[in-house]
Each structure stands twice: as structure tokens, then as C-alpha cells.
Amino acid sequence: MKIAPLAEVKDRFSAYIDESRESPVVVTRNGRPVAMIIAIDDEDDLDSLLLAHNPRFVQLLEAARQRVRVTGGVSLAEMRRRVEGKA
């Protein structure tokens, strides 16, 4: 992982975008990390990043996890029946 000051990243932004294809680039301001440049290879990567940072989605996911902990969830066979519309 590369770490670079903001002023340098601003001056060579295109080069740091290229470098992010190898590994993330942490951008610092006054020696403190403030951002990260991560390469996006395809739309699935973008969707995953957006969902991972969406507070509402994270909240829904945690609520679902809590329900599974309490109820035990459903079996794979039951899930398949529901998905196929046979429930």
C-alpha cells in the first residue's frame, strides 16, 4: 500500500490512479490519513463499495443478522422453495 501526501497526489493524480490498480493509495494531509484511492475494475466493484458505505444498507444488513441470530434463519432448502415461489 502506498501512502502519499495530498499535495503530491494533486500534482500527479493520474499516476496515483494508475498506481491504485496495484494496491490502494492512502492520501494524507498534515501527516494524517484522509482518503484512499481504490481502483474499480468493474461495475460490481463499484456496487459493492457503494453498498458497503451506505448507512441504510449497513443498518438493514445488521438487522437481518440480528434476526438470524434470534430465529436461527431458514434452511437452504426452505430458501430455495421461497425463491422458486413454492413456499
Question: In this structure, what is the dihedral angle of CA atoms 46, 50, 53, 57, given to the nearest 10 degrees?
Answer: -130
Q: What CATH number matches the domain at 2-37, 3.40.1620.10, 3.40.50.12160, 3.30.300.280, 3.40.309.10?
A: 3.40.1620.10
pLDDT above 60 (res 87) = no
- Rounded CA-CA distance 29/23 in Å is 20
In this predicted structure, what is the pLDDT of residue 85?
83
38 has pLDDT over 90: yes
Which strand (E) or helix (H) includes residue 56? helix 55-71
What pTM value is reported for the model?
0.64
Please state the separation of Cα 28 from the chain's center in Å: 20
Q: What cell numbers appear for 62 in the block?
A: 445488521
Domain ranges of the chain: 2-37, 43-83
* DSSP structural state of residue 42: S
